[in-house]
Amino acid sequence: MKNILIIVGSMRKGSYNKQLAAHIENSLEGKAKVSYLDYADLPFMNQDIEFPTPETVARVRSEIESADGLWIVSPEHNHSIPSVLKNLLDWISRPREKGNPDAGKTSADVKVTLSGIGGVSGTSFARKALYDICEFIGMNVVADQGTGLVYNRDAFNTGEISVSAEDDAKLKEQAKIFLESL
Ligand SMILES: Cc1cc2nc3c(=O)[nH]c(=O)nc-3n(C[C@H](O)[C@H](O)[C@H](O)COP(=O)(O)O)c2cc1C
């Protein structure tokens, strides 16, 4: 069974995107082994601390490398991607050895697919930005800009999202395309 590593672009405890990730995980049951990347402790990218490689950076890189594919599930922040996620992508886009741009960067050739839940845009601006960054850093983005969901109206009162049958079908189709690509 393939290993899919889910990366949630929100650190919020009750995150709607974490809930969406859990929904995706359920729909992958029996089809893939799912784990989550914990990158809350990643330092801010700063070239002064790139070498020697900080411990958290090394761990995150190795978890990404052991996965067959990444599924990024992210909110939209100001029509772009959250800074925590950009920080992670910046770290994995860098060479592993000082002064040696050929020392394989983690992001090269990694298969990735994208989803997110947000306001009226359905995270379309974030997913477009994410698509461009991922392609730029050498990843292979599968299923184009992926699936975007819009919050159900009562999500803000209940703190819980509900996934419509239509969105569920889109996510299942995305999962099928992604699994076939791995
Ligand atoms: C700094 C900031 C900027 C935001 N900008 C957008 C936006 O451009 N589009 C959008 O749909 N929601 C935006 N939101 C609202 C998020 O969709 C909302 O906070 C959501 O709960 C974040 O996802 P999460 O629950 O997974 O953390 C923004 C929220 C924050 C904190």
Length reported for the chain: 182
Identify the pLDDT of residue 177: 98
Identify the pLDDT of residue 100: 84
| Domains of the chain as residue ranges with CATH | 2-181 (3.40.50.360)
- Rounded to an integer, the average pLDDT of 128-150 is 98
Taking CA atoms only, the protein residue closest to ligand 1 atom 3 is 77
Q: What mean pLDDT is reported for the chain?
A: 96
At 21-56, the pLDDT tens digits run: 999 999 999 999 999 999 999 999 999 999 999 999
Tell me what percent of the residues of the chain surpass a pLDDT of 90.
Answer: 93
Beta-carbon neighbour count of residue 93 at 10 Å? Answer: 18
Beta-carbon neighbour count of residue 45 at 10 Å? Answer: 16
Identify the pLDDT of residue 81: 98
Q: 28 in helix, strand or coil?
A: coil
For ligand 1, say whether the CB of 122 is within 6 Å of any of its atoms. Answer: no
Q: Which atom of ligand 1 is nearest to the CA of 122?
A: 11
At 52-74, the pLDDT tens digits run: 999 999 999 999 999 999 999 99
For ligand 1, say whether the CB of 79 is within 6 Å of any of its atoms. Answer: yes
Tell me what percent of the residues of the chain surpass a pLDDT of 70.
Answer: 100
CA of 112 to the centre of ligand 1 (A): 22
Identify the pLDDT of residue 106: 92
Ligand 1 pocket test: which of 78, 83, 151, 158 has the largest number of ligand atoms within 8 Å of its C-beta? 78
Identify the pLDDT of residue 127: 98
Give the tokens for residue 14: 């009750």
At 90-138, the pLDDT tens digits run: 999 999 888 887 778 999 999 999 999 999 999 999 999 999 999 999 9
For ligand 1, say whether the CB of 16 is within 6 Å of any of its atoms. Answer: yes
Say if pTM beats, i.e. exceeds, 0.95.
yes
The one-letter amino acid code at 64 reads I
Identify the pLDDT of residue 144: 97
Sort 68 into a burial class: Cβ within 10 Å, 0-12 / 13-18 / 19+: middle
